[in-house]
Amino acid sequence: MNKRDRLQAAINGEAGDRAPVALWRHFPVDDQRPADLAAATIEFQSLYDFDFVKVTPASSFCIRGWGVEDEWRGNPEGTRDYTRRVIRRADDWLALKPLDPRQGGLGEQLCALELIRDGLPDGTPFIQTIFSPISQAKNLVGGDHLLTHLRLHPGELKVALAVITETTLRFVEAAARAGIAGIFYAVQFASTRFLSEVEYREFGEPHDRQILEAARGLWLNALHLHGESVMFDLVAKYPAQVINWHDRETPPTLAEGKKKFGGAVCGGWRQWETMVRGTPDSVEAEAREAMNATGGRGLILGTGCVTPTTAPRANLRAARNVVG
């Protein structure tokens, strides 16, 4: 089977020649210029030959046009720290205007996608990370302040979420023209640690559905539920082909998730305990557990989130080699 056939079999719950596998990571510093991000992404894929490539820019790529600033300070996940936010008062939300996807950080990311498309071997699917509007709003105001604004200034925040959604829709449309197979839709607040389900249905779900509906023509859209205590049942009803969450750290299990979601589940490995602090033997053992738990169908082997930059190459090789 080629990569698309193998992934499609997993999405359909059918038997393939083997379980698909994919790992992804940040490329700090390299993620600041399109050519560098493309080169790092292509090199990583050339080393491990995963079944799809998840393109992982810095989270600021989509909001830099509104004035945020960030810098690399050594986080082992590869994420950057925000050094300038743009929302301080409730009225600041009203100043946001839709961004042109061909300009600024969005335009640079489109350039990176085109370089990745041209540099990957034919038939290698690649998907673009898209942060949900409420996640983008968090990065504009700061995580400590978003919930305050959501509860004290809901009207202003809703105006901004509509603008963020419009900008994201424009970018997804442009990214589709660049050849992506789908989007990796990162949802960070569908968790009862932050919001009630009623709140998420009001501030998160409508925008999520708009963006995923716009991507419906793509064949490899993956949902990522970030963190613990996630609203899996709510998000499992979204239109997407793959769902990914920290299945080793928070419910549901892979087997339970597979029963609730109509496509493929992606997971099986702990990003820190196994991929960083484990050994090739423990990587293989967790993969076998995941394949046994799902009967080897409807599963894409992966981690619950990004593979840390400190993961040993021996563990990455083991993750790829466990499926042959």
For 119-145, the pLDDT digits (tens) are 999 999 999 999 999 999 999 999 889
Entry pTM: 0.98
Cβ neighbours around 96 below 10 Å, total: 22
Cβ neighbours around 15 below 10 Å, total: 11
Q: What is the per-residue pLDDT for 143?
A: 86
Q: What is the per-residue pLDDT for 165?
A: 98
E-strand stretches of 260-315: 264-269, 299-303
Domain 3-321: CATH architecture, name and number where available: Alpha-Beta Barrel (3.20)
> What's the DSSP call for residue 277?
T
Q: Are strands 69-71 and 53-55 parallel, antiparallel or unpaired?
A: unpaired
Asked if the model's pLDDT at residue 219 lies above 90, the reply is yes
For 278-314, the pLDDT digits (tens) are 999 999 999 999 999 999 899 999 999 999 999 999 9
Q: Are strands 242-245 and 264-269 parallel, antiparallel or unpaired?
A: parallel
Q: Name the burial class of residue 29, with classes exposed (0-12), middle (13-18) and buried (19+) by CB atoms within 10 angstroms of its CB.
A: middle
CB 263 within 8 A of CB 240: yes
Question: What would the DSSP string read from start to end of 217-269?
Answer: TSS--EEEE-SSSB-HHHHTTSS-SEEEE-TTTSSSPHHHHHHH-SSEEEEEE
Q: What is the mean pLDDT of residues 44-55?
A: 98
C-alpha closest to that of 114 among 192, 200, 55, 44: 55
Quote the CA–CA distance of 35 and 14 in Å, as a whole number. Answer: 38
Q: Are strands 126-131 and 53-55 parallel, antiparallel or unpaired?
A: parallel
Confidence of residue 19 (pLDDT cuts 50, 70, 90): very high
